[in-house]
Amino acid sequence: MTLAKAILPLTASLLLLGLFAAPAIADPPEVVVSIKPVHSLVAAIMQGVGTPDLIVDGAASPHTYALKPSNARALESAKVVFWVGPGMEAFLEKPLSALGSNALVAELDKAPGIAKLKFRQGGAFEADNDGDEPVADVGDSHDHGAFDTHLWLDPHNAKAMAAEITTTLVAADPVNALTYEANQKALDDKLDALDTEIASTIAPVKNKPFIVFHDAYQYFERRYGVHVAGSITVSPESIPGAQRVAEIHGKVADLGATCVFAEPQFEPKLVNVVIEGTSAKSGVLDPEAATLPQGPDLYFNLMRGIANSLKTCLS
């Protein structure tokens, strides 16, 4: 046997041994997300690495959600959990402390750069001293805390949340840091383009007043200058009394032709009562994406859906 023939099998064996001894690429961490809008941002940043699990899926609402056994199991195995905070997902506060103790938990209402707006009081919102901004009143009695937690309805807040999501994922999974960071940059660019697009869509109707089912749209209002004149209820889990419904009915009548918007998860009969005998039209807004399929495109479809619904009803 020649030396060359003797070396070949040895070389092949060493290469095979090296192949099996090489460290495997780490699996992505188990990531659990509370609600659809946040899940969409996380899914966009995790593209090419993994897919996060979603707790409040389908047409369910975080305002009325009850944790399922499958959700509890997902939290038990999670390495990273993203939620807005106890003001939005109150049902998660105790389970996270009990079940998610081994996970890295990111409360996105505390993300650097997030702008927060205080809750407003009463059904009909009054203008402030400048006459063009609604007054925010922290003194209202509800269970959502001191500020409105529908933070994602301003793309600038969505960018702040995306930055915090990326920081958290990089800390939990540094192997895939470059992918997370590149995905965040692409997402930021898309959010900037979306912001410009929605401003253009809303421009023709931005000064026309309308009524919403519950006071969830402050961030969208402030960003795009639309005029919400009131809400039927502060929190969708609280049924408004006859006095509040009458107040809103009067507001609609005073404003003349306008729109009153229902939401897909909640009983629309109240909207019909509010517009009865007036020239107002009804529409549907979906601030929590109840009717949209989950995934990285959901956030963009959610925001475009709100803009287009407003334009259609108010035009």
pTM reported for the whole predicted model: 0.83
Residue 146: pLDDT above 90?
Answer: no
Domains recognised in the chain with CATH numbers:
31-122+147-197 (3.40.50.1980), 201-314 (3.40.50.1980)
Quote the crossing angle between the two packed helices 177-202 and 298-314, to the nearest 10°: 0
Q: Which amino acid is at 19?
A: L
16-36 confidence digits (pLDDT tens): 444 444 333 468 899 999 999
Distance between CA atoms of residues 150 and 116, nearest Å: 9
224-241 confidence digits (pLDDT tens): 999 888 888 766 666 777
Mean pLDDT of the residues in the chain? 83
Dihedral of CA 157/161/162/167: which sign?
positive
Give me the pLDDT at residue 185, please: 98
Distance between CA atoms of residues 141 and 151, nearest Å: 20
Range among 95-104, 111-120, 159-168 with highest mean pLDDT value: 159-168
Backbone angles phi, psi at 241, to 5 degrees: -80, 175
Contact predicate 42/162, CB 8 Å: no
Distance between CA atoms of residues 283 and 272, nearest Å: 11
Encoded tokens for 269: 């009969």
- String of DSSP letters for 47-111: TTT---EESS-TT--TTT----HHHHHHHHH-SEEEE--TTT-GGGHHHHHHH-TTSEEEEGGGS
C-alpha count within 13 angstroms, C-beta hemisphere, residue 92: 29
125-145 confidence digits (pLDDT tens): 654 433 344 333 333 333 445
Q: Three-class SS of residue 206?
A: coil
Least confident of 35-44, 164-173, 230-239: 230-239
Query: In which residue are the tokens 């969830």 written?
Result: 216
Contact predicate 311/301, CB 8 Å: no
71-95 confidence digits (pLDDT tens): 999 999 999 999 999 999 999 999 9
Greater model confidence, 51 or 11:
51
Encoded tokens for 68: 């399922």
Q: Three-class SS of residue 237?
A: coil
Greater model confidence, 155 or 11:
155
Dihedral of CA 85/88/94/95: which sign?
negative
Residue 119 pLDDT class (50, 70, 90 cuts): confident
Q: Three-class SS of residue 211?
A: strand
